[in-house]
Amino acid sequence: MFFANTSISLRRGLLALALSACASLASAATYHVEFDTSTLGSNGWIDLQFNPGNAGTALASVTLTDFIGFGDSATAQIAGNVVGSLASGYTITNDDPGGWNDLFHEVVFSGGKVGFNVSFSGAADPAQSSPGSVFAVSLMNADASAYLGATDPSGALVQLNWTAGITADAGAVAATPLVNTIPAIAAPVPEPSTWAMLAGGLALLGLARRRRQA
C-alpha cells in the first residue's frame, strides 16, 4: 500500500509540474506573429504600432526580431519613438509626446508568410492603476491605400495588450480577438527552460506509468 500511494503521489506531482510548464507558456513575454499571405499578390505593407492608453500609461516597449517576408530595409518609415533596423531589430516605445509610435515597412506577400517575434517589457506599476498599451499589426495593399483582411475599424489584424506588472518587465500580455479574412498566428514563444521542464515532466510521467504497469 505504501508503494501504491507513493506512485500515485509521484504521478500527480509530475502532472502538476507538466501543467505548470504549459501554463507558463501562456504568460511568456515574447510572441510570434505570422500571417498567411499566399493569396494577397506580390508586395504590400505592414503597419506596426505600440501606443499608450493615455498620458498616464506606464513606460513600456516592444522589440521586434526574426523577421519573415520583410522587404528592403530602406522602405522603413517611422513615427514617434521607434529605433533600430531589420538587422538589429526594432524597438517601439510608448512614450512619444504625440501618443503615436509607428513602424511602416514594405513586405513581400508572394513568399507566403509575413511574420516576426515581438518581446514586451516595461516599467513596474505597483498600484496596478496604469492603463495598458496596445501593440497592433495591420497589412496594406501595394500602394498603401487600403487595409487587407481586417474587419476591425482600426484596420488591425492582431492586437496584443500589455499591462504593467507590480515589478519591472513582469506585465501581462492579452490578445484581443479580431475577426479577419487573413489567417494569423499570435502565439507565445516558450523559453528553452520551459520546454525542458515540460519535456522532463512528461518523461517522468511516462516512467512512472511503465513502473506501475510492471
Q: Tens of pLDDT along 148-176?
A: 999 999 999 999 999 999 999 999 999 99
Q: Are residues 137 and 205 in the same domain?
A: no
Q: Are residues 202 and 118 in the same domain?
A: no
- Domain extent, residue 8, equals 1-26+191-214
Q: What is the pLDDT of residues 46-94, one digit of tens each?
A: 999 999 988 889 999 999 999 999 999 999 999 999 999 999 999 999 9
Total domain count, the chain: 2
Kindly give, in sequence order, each residue whose CB lies less than 8 Å from that of residue 60, ignoring residues fewer than 6 positions away. 50, 52, 93, 94, 120, 121, 122, 123, 133, 162, 164, 171
Q: Are residues 65 and 114 in the same domain?
A: yes
What is the Cα–Cα distance from 182 to 178, expressed in whole angstroms? 11
What is the Cα–Cα distance from 154 to 137, expressed in whole angstroms? 10
- What is the value of pTM for the model shown? 0.78
